[in-house]
Chains A and B, each alone.
Chain A
């Protein structure tokens, strides 16, 4: 490839340059070489150039930028639900077997706009508006997956998927095992859950705790536009059934994400803020409460390490373990109920595996074991708030 670039050389007209640029971009996205030919920095051409026309002028204008930083800085800004949609659309473009089932996902565009515009683009059969029959359309998705399709089931609210519990647990999770490996069920079950703004008890459910024992499924929770898109793509590409937990209040988060394609690992945790004094494990919306508390803690002189565990089943004990070995104190902040929640399982897992490294008992802050009340103040008190997190860290680090 270097030879080709050298041959472009000094005297080539911009026309030939653009032809070669096309070839460059298609191959260089995968190989990321550091190429500097005299006087022309091709590096600009490498980053996110789906719009090759513009790239040429930018490439000439951009000075000696290393490909790494050039790859991460420009990007595009979008909201979390748009990131989910982008990931979904890219996967539907890439594989014709990917389809979506859900209530109001087609013509209406999705009740949280995650599937907006997709029905017009892919047709009614690929983005299927189902009647209100969670049990059977989840079952239909599993049946379709048995033949090789890759359906994505959207629960308008995660809580409604309790009606489909049998299908998710027995058919989705267990068919690969009970058929002796004959069938794989590459479904993605996704939807918003969590405590919103006074939505009432039945619309504020957190199903992570109910699904976590089901053998055969993987569970992930997204929290930023970047990981939402990456996890959505990973979940669709995975051969296993994946439940992707989104949060009602996080759909309008804005972030700049890269232009080029990326897929995240379903079993990896994310290091949000490295630190020394205490490991705070969290996921989904509580990440933001923790980061808010972290600001206060830093002012008070503490150095918390915040990890967004992302993968709820299986836990990324590798990242978590390394952190515990460093800090020796753990605080778990979650939105699940106290009884039988993700925090409870995580506490058990950490105690079993890293007991020797702990200097203090694991503290787990979770939501109260109550149905979520409607009244605003009461609802605020069911979930963990930043002052409680600060107090817990202070207590832990005493």
Chain B
């Protein structure tokens, strides 16, 4: 019990938190959780509904998702305060996908997604300060302020962005998978896209190639049922996106249940390493509109939004699980949320103080410095290229 008092204030390890409140479970005792819905498979046997987890993981899920939720809500306020400009696409409601996926894979696996990338960036090891600084266009942002909301990248964390053009990231994802196959390093790539992007031709082209060469690519469709303002039934003749692969197997997953996502991603990783690509369709929902310029209520009713929030909210689900397994009290969870709120506010304050990029930064990183090539003629006597 002496361990209980050991608590590093800067990191707020959920471990210590769990230990202090566990009644009869240690943090690594396996718990079995049932997913909310069974998986539906296309050309494949779906995995079981029972997911193994631990108290530590449960608490971590809660914390991570609450942090992501808090960050997105804070970004909303910052956008309205005109500190974030341009386009800002928020992920709240979809956190279970990010958190569940992260728990099933390693940092050596690659994730690439479109523009709704703030929370995935966080999951891959990005810090709050880097995220907020990038959103506000400051030098300390993950892309030095030159990318913006739609261009978050973290090379060390295996996060490849962050792309503005719908669907263009899927061929890139297959390229990442190609490189993984080329170097034979037993890792996979998760190429994520939305229900709107699912109608892009380049997706099918990339899927054909991935299947042809057995690339370890997992295509994840985050189906939040609305492609900007157009509902999926108005844009797609066949909204069963997991079946779109035809010869490529697919799995439909409840994207609001972090454990279903975790199970599906683990299953998909094993499959991709052995048999090539697989499509995962995550049935999820976004509370905000497509972006901050979209109120989100012209093409759907407020009742629908609040209905989903009441019945399927991912953070609530984990909260209920934590309480049901007696891993923490209501008050402790509320305290965690308060800490998270403070953490986010601190990060915002720090990011606000961060300086704007220098004007000279306009011209850096266009080309790799020195152009990377030394040159000489056939007589090898003189170094001829000395251009500024």
Contacts and interface: CB of A to CB of B under 8 A. Distances in A.
Measured as residues with beta carbon below 8 angstroms from the partner, the interface class of chain A is 35 or more
A213 interface: no
Contact of A216 (B142, B148, B160, B366): B366
Contacts of B373: 234, 237-238, 263, 265-266
B151 A179 contact: yes
Nearest to A185: B368
Contact of B375 (A72, A130, A263): A263
A216 B177 CA distance: 25
B42 to A, nearest CB: 22
B384 A265 contact: yes
Contact of B378 (A147, A240, A260): A260
B172 A146 contact: yes
Interface stretch (A109-117, A131-139, A346-354): A131-139
Interface string B145-174: 111100101110000111111001011111
The residue among B155, B173, B181, B379 with the most chain A CB atoms within 10 A of its own CB is: B379
B182 A144 contact: yes
Interface in A94-148: 99, 125-126, 128, 130-131, 133, 135-148
B379 A143 contact: no
A260 B179 contact: no
A147 B371 contact: no
Interface residues of B, number: 61
Given A215-B366, A240-B371, A135 B143 contact: no
A112 to B, nearest CB: 23
Contacts of A376: none
Contact of A71 (B153, B170, B378): B378
Interface in B15-32: none
Interface stretch (A55-63, A169-177, A377-385): A169-177
B367 interface: yes
A175 B152 CA distance: 11
A260 B374 CA distance: 16
A89 interface: no
A267 interface: yes
Given A136-B209, A141-B175, A32 B142 contact: no
B217 to A, nearest CB: 10
Interface string B184-227: 00000000000000000110011011001100000000000000
A344 interface: no
A19 interface: no
Nearest to A267: B387
Interface string B366-388: 11100111111111110011010
B5 interface: no
A216 B368 CA distance: 9
B375 A264 contact: yes
Contacts of B151: 178-179
B168 A71 contact: no
Interface in A2-31: 29-30
Contact of A143 (B112, B181, B372, B387): B112
Contact of B367 (A136, A179, A216, A265): A216
B178 interface: yes
B365 A171 contact: no
B55 interface: no
A149 interface: yes
Contacts of B174: 136, 139-140, 143
Contacts of B238: none
Nearest to A126: B182
Given A143-B112, A180-B142, 17 more contacts: A72-B378, A139-B174, A141-B175, A144-B182, A147-B179, A148-B179, A167-B171, A170-B164, A170-B168, A176-B367, A178-B147, A180-B146, A218-B371, A234-B375, A238-B373, A265-B384, A267-B371
29 contacts: A29-B380, A32-B380, A32-B381, A72-B378, A125-B213, A133-B205, A133-B209, A135-B205, A136-B174, A139-B170, A140-B174, A140-B178, A143-B175, A144-B175, A170-B163, A171-B168, A175-B161, A178-B146, A179-B161, A180-B141, A180-B142, A181-B364, A218-B367, A237-B373, A238-B373, A239-B368, A262-B376, A263-B375, A268-B385
Q: What 5 A-B pairs have minimum CB-CB distances, sorted nearest first?
A: A143-B175, A139-B171, A265-B385, A265-B375, A143-B172
Interface of A: 29-30, 32, 68, 71-72, 99, 125-126, 128, 130-131, 133, 135-149, 166-167, 170-171, 175-184, 186, 215-216, 218, 226, 230, 234, 237-240, 257-258, 260, 262-268, 314, 316, 318
